[in-house]
Every structure is written in structure tokens, then in C-alpha cells.
Amino acid sequence: MPEKQYRFIISGGGTGGHIYPAVAIANEIKRLHPSAEILFVGAQGRMEMTRVPEAGYKIIGLWISGLQRRLAVDNLSFPLKVISSVRKAYKIIKDFKPDAVVGVGGYASGPLLYAATKMGIPSLIQEQNSHAGITNKLLANKVDKVCVAYDSMYKYFPNAKIVLTGNPVRRDITELEGKRTEAIQFFGLNPDRLTFLVIGGSLGARTLNQSTDAALQKIEQAGYNLIWQTGKTYFPTAEESVRNHPADQIKAYDFIKRMDLAYAAADVVISRAGALSISELCLAKKPSILVPSPNVAEDHQTKNAMALVQKNAALLVKDIEASQKLWETAFALAKDASKQQTLRENIAQLAKPQATEAIVQELMKLIS
């Protein structure tokens, strides 16, 4: 007897921290149920409108954005955007007829989940962070389940709805074994050098970029490789800077599609402390230096980072101290093989490799 053809809508986005968990969930649904139909709903003009089609899925955009916390002209159109987006969400659900919907946070998940719950469609939220986003907090009482990556989320969500699953991560990140040679060749690097990977998140991170730019000469002279993801805004500056350094040693990219190979090539990673980045680093088992962004609600990146630092599973450099201390710390770690091994072993203990599968199982329970 052929399997029922399931239909799912996955909504949310705005940053890679929302988009990649959404794509990971979609990929896992397709792995377990190859005939499933999946539709994404995002916000017009945001990066999901590009990244989701690149991953092979159809996406529809809503005219929605966030409410600015300062006085801004954009806020005048916010009520109109909400009404327009909720109306469109109702139509999308009516036309697509999903068995269930998933919200991963971000602007678009609000109208879509609101409409779905009003229509009685089984619904699930996936919250990546230790500090819940406003959209997810507002919708928590309406949805059926909330999958989280941190305990203590009962502060934000009804306890009976919470399932501790961990964060969904793309399957290729969990399969790095034996990929280093391919990775070094892919990036065109010298295989005999220790390799640093700098990732500031999908939109880039000014502090990491400026600190790294200032350290390029020292990185070259010390004989290390560098894979540097800058984000789109800083890339023209970085591209100019790396021209003065050997092409088989210093590489800059605005965006890295093959993050599995970036992790496989890396010996030491320098990163922001977003929830998805932390989950990936745990699975990749990489010695890491975390520089929490100061521009997030309730400083939750510092809380994310400290959860690792307290277990001797990562090092932390404060954003305000990065220009002086970041590469000093990085060079010291590069020379300390024993410390690298300790960090590698401890961070591996925190990985949740079955997170994506667990989330999809919860989703299927809602349907059945």
C-alpha cells in the first residue's frame, strides 16, 4: 500500500539561524517520507527568498517585517503589513492544504502560524535560542508543540507543550569524517598548515571581520591557513585585503555554501555564539573561540557561549575586547595541541545528532 503523500508548510527566516534549521527539517521530512510535498513561506526581500530555492524548495513571500524598537517611518506600515500577511497566509493554507505547519521564528512565521492555528491545522514551533523570540512567545499558547534546544524554556512556553530536542542541523554537518582532504582541495589550501575558520553568521559580523582583517599579515607570517566568511557587506573590503596574501593560504568568501567542507578543513573555529552556530560546532567537534554578539535580546549569545565555557568546551572573547584579544587567543590555541584536544572532546559531549529526526517525529505524532 503506497504511503500517504504528506503536505507541510515551513515558515520563518530572516537570518541563517532560522533558515538552515528550517531546511534541515525539510530535508529530514523528505528523507523519511520521500513523496512529501513541502512549501516554505518567508518574508519578501529577506535572505530565505534566495537560500530556500537554492536548497531545492518552493517558497512564497509575505509582505511582512519587524516592528522597529525606535521611532521609524517603517512602523507606520506595520499594521497594514500584518493584516495583508495574515490574509495571504489564510489563502496559502487553503490552497496548499497542509497536514501540519512548522514555524522556526522570524517575521513570516507569525502570520502563517496564526492563520494555521485558527484553521485547526496541527502546528509546531522550533525555538533555536536560550532566549525565546517574540513571535514564538506570542504563538506558544496557540500551537500544539514547542521543540527547544535548551532546558529552562518553561520561562517562555507552556511546560506541557515543550519537547527538548536540540537544534536541527543539516545532515552533512554530522558527516565530516574522512572529508578533510577533499575540503582542503575544495578551498585550494596548503594541506600542511593548521587552518582557521572564521564565521560571523550569514549576515556577517563587523567585529570579527575588522579583527581578522587587521591580523592577516600575522596569520600569513605564522604559517596558518584562513577560511574567512565575511557576509555580503564586508566582502568587498575583505576581497581587496586578501589580494595581498598567498591564494593557497588566505581565502575570503561572502557566503560559504559547503559549510560541511569548511568545518572539515578547519582545525580551529572563530565564531559568533548564535544557537545554530553552537549546535553545528558541537556536532563538528571543533576547538572554538566564541565572540558573542552584543546586539541581541537579553545578551543571549553570551549565555549560549557560557554554557560551553563552563564545561571547558570552548573559549570566549568579549566583543568589546576582540580587537586586542581575539587573534592573540587564536594564535595561543593554535600552538596548544593539548588544549585543542580537550576542547574537542568536551564540545563533542554536548552534541545532539538526532535533533532533526526528533523534531520530525514530534511533527508526525501531531498528524497521527
- Cβ neighbours of residue 239 closer than 8 Å, sequence gap 6 or more: 252
Q: Residue 1 is placed in which grid cell?
A: 500500500
Taking the C-alpha atoms of residue 227 and residue 216, their distance in angstroms, rounded to an integer, is: 11
CB 135, CB 64: distance < 8 Å: no
Is 244 annotated as ligand-binding?
no
Tell whether 167 is in a known binding site.
no
What distance in Å separates the CA atoms of residue 68 and residue 90, rounded to the nearest whole number? 25
Integer Cα distance of 92 and 7 in angstroms: 13
Q: How far apart are CA 212 and CA 68, in angstroms?
A: 31
Specify the pLDDT at position 35.
95
Q: Which amino acid is at 55?
A: A
Res 202: pLDDT: 61
Q: At 145, is the secondary structure helix, strand, or coil? A: strand
Name 258's Cβ contacts closer than 8 Å, sequence gap at least 6. 186
Output DSSP code: residue 188: T
- In the numeric block, which cell numbers belong to residue 67? 516592528
Q: Could you tell me where the DSSP H helices lie in the chain? A: 16-32, 48-54, 78-96, 109-118, 134-139, 180-187, 206-222, 235-242, 259-265, 275-284, 300-309, 322-334, 337-348, 355-367
324 strand-pairing partners: none
Question: Which long-range contacts does 337-345 make (Cβ < 8 Å, 24+ apart)?
Answer: 339/287, 340/267, 340/268, 340/287, 342/312, 343/287, 343/288, 343/312, 343/313, 343/314, 343/315, 344/285, 344/286, 344/287
Set out the domains of the chain in order of their start, with CATH numbers: 7-167+354-367 (3.40.50.2000), 172-348 (3.40.50.2000)
Residue 310 near residue 336, CB atoms below 8 Å = no
Looking from the CA of 175 toward its CB, the CA atoms found within 13 Å total: 4
356 marked ligand binding residue = no
Strands 195-199, 268-271: pairing is parallel
- Whether residue 256 is annotated as binding a ligand: the answer is yes
Q: Is 166 annotated as a binding residue?
A: no
Residue 190 labeled ligand binder: no
**pLDDT of the chain, 368 residues: tens digit per residue:** 667 899 999 998 877 778 989 999 999 999 999 999 999 999 998 889 999 999 999 999 998 876 555 555 566 677 888 888 999 999 999 999 999 999 998 888 999 999 999 999 999 999 988 888 888 888 999 999 999 998 879 889 999 999 999 999 888 898 899 999 999 999 999 999 999 999 976 666 899 999 999 999 999 999 999 999 999 899 999 999 999 999 999 999 998 989 999 999 999 999 999 888 999 999 999 999 999 998 876 688 898 899 899 999 999 999 999 999 999 999 999 999 999 999 999 999 999 989 999 999 999 999 98
Give the distance, in angstroms, between the CA of residue 280 and the centroid of all CA atoms in the same chain. Answer: 8
Cβ-based neighbour number of residue 32 at 10 Å: 14
For cell 568579549, the residue is: 318
Contact of 265 with 197, CB cutoff 8 Å = yes
- pLDDT computed for residue 256 by the predictor: 92
Burial classification of residue 2, based on how many CB atoms lie within 10 Å of its CB (0-12 exposed, 13-18 middle, 19 or more buried): exposed
Give the per-residue pLDDT at 131.
80
129 assigned ligand-binding residue: yes
The answer to whether 301 is annotated as binding is: yes
Within 10 A of 126 (CB to CB), how many other CB atoms are there? 31
